[in-house]
């Protein structure tokens, strides 16, 4: 099940020469929408300033909070995952398609050799590449993950020292730390990719059920949040509750600290992959296209 990566590659090869794509990218976005790529960096800067002030004023309260894993998880979800971007993309893509439909232009465009799916895809990618929005945000996400992956590099020397000194408990602890950091960085990146794909699919699906711009925007935003929250809940219940119980009942010890984060990452990825596959199936069914259309050239 690699639908995520097929659609992700398709997003990176938009139909640059398609007239609809050129029309959408040429449109001037609202000023507020053009600021979306600055949400995470600005939010992170503000958070850092607030923490610096808090440490000076209330160190006994702020310092323990900084090392609370639940608090870190919440901050990571808000700033570094694709929830904010996917939410906005789903709402805006849906609204644009609904507007074109309500103007009576969508059905005329679909009479072209491109077909319904490629017209919707051209609108979707046209919005994403407007003012290089998608490119800028992708660059931000990549740099954040690269920054996270530099942390394990600092642990290589202590790791070799521990091996040379035969401190295997110490080595296992360091290896566990490295695995947790790497899987967390990969999870953030996967979440961003799958959120972008999911937001795009929801944005293209919703206008098939309503012609109202407002209804399409609200339904797409609500639908994206529902899918996003449900995948987080599934990952939590299966990955952190069920898998922990399985490891305990099977008395898996030793390398459990190394394998458990990887197993949780797989649960997180697969739960969202299933939903993306379902959304793609629904879209192709609604637009009377083939399921393997993504294997063809959507960039035409």
DSSP state string for the chain: --HHHHHHHHHTS--TT-HHHHHHHHSPPPHHHHTGGGHHHHHHHHHHHHHHHHHHH-HHHHHHHHT-HHHHHHHHHHHTSSHHHHHHHHHHHHHHHHHHHHTTHHHHHTTSTTHHHHHHHHHHHHHHTGGGHHHHHHHHHHHHHHHHHHHHHTTHHHHHHHHHTT-HHHHHHHHHHHHHHHHHHHHHHHHHHHHHHHHHHHHHHGGGT---HHHHHHHHHHHHHHHHHHHHHHIIIIIIIIHHHHHHHTT--STHHHHHHHHHHHHHHHHHHHHHHHHHHHHHHHTT--GGGGGS-TT-
Q: Does residue 98 register a pLDDT over 90?
A: yes
- Residue 97, pLDDT score: 94
- Residue 277, pLDDT score: 93
* CB count in 10 Å sphere of residue 289: 19
Q: How many domains does the chain have?
A: 1
pLDDT bucket at 52, cuts 50 / 70 / 90: low
pLDDT bucket at 222, cuts 50 / 70 / 90: very high
pLDDT bucket at 78, cuts 50 / 70 / 90: low
Q: Is 12 a domain residue?
A: yes
* CB count in 10 Å sphere of residue 229: 11
Q: Is 253 a domain residue?
A: yes
Q: Is the pTM above the cut of 0.85?
A: no
Q: Is 151 a domain residue?
A: yes
Query: Over the stretch 146-163, which tens digit does the pLDDT of each residue have?
Result: 776 776 666 666 666 656
Q: Is 25 a domain residue?
A: yes
CA-based nearest residue to 72, from 56, 51, 58: 51
Percent of the chain beyond pLDDT 90?
A: 24
What is each CA distance from 71 to 60, 65, 162, 253, in whole angstroms?
16, 7, 31, 28
Q: Mean per-residue pLDDT for 100-117?
A: 86
Q: Does residue 233 register a pLDDT over 80?
A: yes
Query: Over the stretch 175-221, which tens digit does the pLDDT of each residue have?
Result: 777 777 788 888 888 888 999 999 999 999 999 998 888 899 999 99
The domain in which residue 122 lies consists of 3-295
- 47, 49, 54, 56 alpha-carbon torsion, rounded to 10°: 160
Q: Is 300 a domain residue?
A: no
| Two structure tokens written together for 265 | 């990452």
Q: Which of 2-11, 126-135, 248-257 has the lowest mean pLDDT?
A: 248-257
């Amino acid at each position: 099940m690699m639908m995520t990566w097929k659609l992700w590659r398709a997003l990176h090869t938009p139909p640059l020469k398609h007239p609809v794509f050129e029309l959408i990218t040429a449109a001037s976005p609202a000023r507020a929408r053009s600021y979306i790529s600055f949400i995470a960096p600005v939010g992170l800067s503000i958070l850092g300033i607030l923490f610096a002030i808090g440490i000076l004023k209330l160190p006994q309260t702020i310092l323990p909070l900084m090392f609370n894993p639940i608090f870190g998880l919440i901050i990571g979800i808000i700033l570094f995952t694709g929830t904010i971007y996917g939410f906005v993309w789903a709402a805006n893509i849906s609204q644009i398609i609904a507007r074109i439909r309500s103007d009576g232009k969508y059905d005329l465009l679909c009479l072209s050799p491109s077909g319904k799916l490629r017209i919707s895809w051209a609108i979707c990618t046209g919005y994403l590449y407007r003012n290089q929005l998608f490119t800028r945000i992708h660059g931000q996400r990549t740099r954040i993950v690269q920054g996270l992956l530099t942390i394990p590099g600092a642990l290589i020397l202590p790791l070799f020292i521990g091996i040379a000194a035969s401190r295997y408990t110490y080595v296992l602890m360091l290896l566990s730390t490295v695995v947790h950091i790497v899987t967390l960085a990969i999870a953030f990146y996967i979440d961003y990719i799958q959120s972008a794909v999911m937001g795009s699919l929801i944005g293209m699906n919703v206008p098939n059920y309503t012609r109202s711009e407002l209804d399409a925007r609200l339904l797409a935003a609500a639908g994206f949040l529902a899918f996003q929250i449900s995948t987080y809940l599934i990952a939590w219940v299966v990955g952190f509750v069920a898998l922990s119980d399985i490891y305990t009942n099977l008395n898996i010890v030793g390398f459990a600290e190394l394998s458990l984060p990887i197993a949780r990452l797989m649960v997180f990825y697969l739960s969202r992959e299933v939903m993306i596959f379902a959304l793609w199936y629904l879209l192709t069914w609604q637009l009377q296209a083939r399921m393997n259309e993504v294997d063809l050239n959507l960039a035409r």
